[in-house]
Structure 1
Amino acid sequence: AKALEFEFDTLACASTGNLMGSVAAHGAKASMNTLVLYPANLEKGKILGAAIYGATLVAVDGTYDQVNRLCSELADNHRWAFVNVNMRPFYAEGSKTLGYEVAEQLGWLAPDHCVVPGASGALFTKIHKGLKDLVQTGLIDSADTKMHIAQAEGCSPIAQAFNDGSKEVRPVIPDTLAKSLAIGNPADGPYALRTIAESDGSAVIAMEDEIVEGIQLLAQTEGIFTETAGGVVISGLRRLVNQGVIKPDEVTVAYITGNGLKTQEVVESVVNPVHISPSYDAFEEAMAGR
């Protein structure tokens, strides 16, 4: 809507996967030219999610941070609406709705804890800001929610800074299963650290071998199939509970931000069917040992 208001005719973004699908869909609906740039090693499911809307796809041989720098250069030289560059303030503010929706669904109460996946840090900070907005407008009485950011071991610059007691977020080169969180130089990293401090929250790191475990745990206990970012959140939540940071009787919201069908490659090993001939006896024999 803002891109049209500012009379842009092309909508664009740098993406680790989820944003590109959304941008492509909204661009198609608005009859805008749509351009999405992404790291070439992205999962096929996420690429398909943008391609189906007719967006122009540009696979870049590099990290997300390199893709984002390229988009900044393009935004300087083309009159295009880059959602996470020259349109970033509007894009980031939109994330506050995830705070609004949670409070509404809890009967206009703020949760005790929020566990949020961390990439650029924008989603994490804006959820907290959204809860504070509701206090200021009188829709909820208070928002003492402790904010916890969850990052993958292979890309955890914000969590590392928190654990080191540093106010400086040092860039890293991502090497993680959670490609949607693979932002090595998070633009909102310092703000994320401030949010942790303001809310008396924390940062937690999910080990790479725990990501798939988190995906399976959520699927097998709640019937929700999440992509890798959700696996990071659930693994981080489990760690926080085991550490006593989050108590069983506290209201805790774990933000699951993507569908598992987008990252099927990481869980292919769980497919292990029993092969039988089409007969009753074959079925009974195969099942007898299970």
Structure 2
Amino acid sequence: MILGYFKNKLWENIVMAKTHLQCRECKKEYEPTFKYVCDECFGPLDVKYNFPTISKDKFKDRESTYWRYFELLPIEDKNNIVSIDAGMTPLVKAEKLGKELGLNNLYIKNDSVNPTFSFKDRPAGVAISKAKEFGLKSVGCASTGNLASATAAHAAKADMPCYIFAPSDIETAKIAQALSYGAEYISVDGTYDDANRIAAQIGDSKGVGVVNINMRSYYVEGSKTLAYEVAEQLDWNVPNHLIVPTGSGAMLNAICKGFEELQTVSLLDNLSSMHIHSAQPHGCAPIVDAFKKNNDKVIPVEQPDTVAKSLAIGDPGDGRYVLKRLKQYNGIAEETNNKEILDAILLLAKTEGIFTEPAGGVSVSVLKKMVEEGKIDKNETTICYVTGNGLKATESIMSVLTKPKVMQADVAKISAVIG
């Protein structure tokens, strides 16, 4: 439904030439207003573009942030952009990890180096820029941790009040980060889905732009820049495999949309050689469960239980669309357990010097399984998405490390243990 608070606002009648909204289900079209579900069938609304003519040379000398793709993003006026210089993160040729796994063309898309240390800077930045364009006075989010920090940081930059709704078991580092940006943090005694429900109701009644709920149509557009950047960093070539850690499913769906839009504007050729795969943690893998049972419907996980807390979304909003994408691009969905996740974190750190949180461990671990099962050829171009920084989840990572022994400040004694 349309948020009641906004029904009579002037921006309902604003027409922006750059975009329009379209229902993902019944295809009904709407003006690009503050609206996120279809009046007819209650399906989600996607942003569609009146694409200009774009050449590869257009992006050559632009800023090294995801805003370099301004023509392909849903902001009408550049003055409304809220940027903390996120995006254009490294695409690392993972030679040592590739050798360990038996892959010659493995790349890590390392979003752990974004300003708030996760990929969430992309969707949060686009959503808050759009909130500014709509004239909203406050923003917020429901979060498993990373989006809290990204939303709070962008809200601070935009000088907008920010409200975070999150389950109470979030890692301490993520809470501290969001609070440091000045956000109002509401810790909910319940699951992420409980926090999401409360955020939706408050967004409706209080007029808060909740980035991943009532701003969702615009929010997801930020994540598609993960496709734009990979394509550009591969000199406008299409990869063969993409391993995507999956919580709500919004990122995977957005990445597919991004590649498809690049094909629409003739920056990429045929996508038939591309396979996209969903990686989830055991203990919260409803998409994997549906995929392996060949079901079209995703059955929610009531009580998620995984070390990968940023993926602990029991009822993934885009779950059934992920299943459609996996069929469309001949991909698979696979899960991995806590031990495998933590082992993969250390493997990535020791081979490539990249320190990821458990969500990145999920994608690396699932990649390892796929190679062992012969599902990826050694010469195929493979992209593994690392979406967050290990500094956000040190408690869980320390659980598999040996705590350093405290030694006396004695050169002789310390020299004796140096090889």
Q: TM-score range by the shorter chain?
A: over 0.9
More helix by share: 1
For 1:160, the equivalent position in structure 2 comes to 289
- Give deviations 1:157-199, integer Å, cap 9, x for gaps: 0011001111110001211111100000000000000000000
Provide Cα deviations, 1:24-67, integer angstroms capped at 9, x if missing partner: 01101111111111111100111112111101111000000111
Q: Give the secondary-structure state (helix, strand or coil) at the position aligned to 2:416.
A: helix
Give the TM-score taking structure 1 as reference length.
Answer: 0.97
| Aligned counterpart in structure 2 of residue 84 of structure 1, from 212, 220, 223 | 212
Equivalent residue in structure 2 for 1:75, among 195, 203, 227: 203
Separation (CA, whole Å) in 1 of partners of 2:354 and 2:205: 43
* TM-score, normalised relative to structure 2: 0.67
Q: C-alpha displacement at 1:274, in angstroms? A: 4.3
Contact 1:274 1:286 in 2 (8 A): no
**CA distance in 2: counterparts of 1:225 and 1:97, whole angstroms:** 22
Structure 2 Cα separation of the partners of residues 188 and 276 of structure 1? 52
| 2:244 matched residue in structure 1 | 116
What's the counterpart of residue 300 of structure 2? 171
Q: Mind listing any 5+ residue stretches in structure 1 that lack a counterpart? A: none
Give the partner amino acid of 1:117.
P
Question: What does residue 221 of structure 2 align with?
Answer: 93
1:232-251 to 2 correspondence within 5 Å? 232-251=362-381
- Residue equivalent to 2:166: 38
TM-align CA RMSD: 1.1
> 1:262, 1:284 → 2: CA distance?
33
Aligned residues: 288
1:272 matched to 2:403? The reply is: yes
How far residue 142 of structure 1 moved from its aligned partner, in angstroms, is: 2.2
Alignment partners' CA distance in 1, 2:177 and 2:406: 32
Task: Provide structure 2 residue ranges, at least 5 long, that are not aligned to the other structure.
Answer: 1-128
Q: Which stretch shifts more, 110-119 or 70-79?
A: 70-79
Structure 2 residue aligned with 1:3, among 128, 131, 154? 131
Q: Which residue of 1 aligns with 2:279?
A: 150
- Distance in 2, matches of 1:64 and 1:142, equals 38
Question: Is the counterpart of residue 189 in structure 1 residue 319 in structure 2?
Answer: yes
Give the secondary-structure state (helix, strand or coil) at the position aligned to 1:286.
Answer: coil
Answer whether contact 1:237 1:254 (CA < 8 A) is retained: yes
Question: The residue matched to 1:255 in structure 2 has which SS?
Answer: strand
2: CA distance between counterparts of 1:28 and 1:284?
49
C-alpha contact (below 8 Å) 1:276/1:286 kept by paired residues: no
Structure 1 Cα separation of the partners of residues 338 and 416 of structure 2:
38
One-letter amino acid matched to 1:199 = Y
Larger mean Cα displacement after TM superposition, 175-184 or 202-211: 202-211
Alpha-carbon separation, structure 2, partners of 1:160 and 1:275: 46
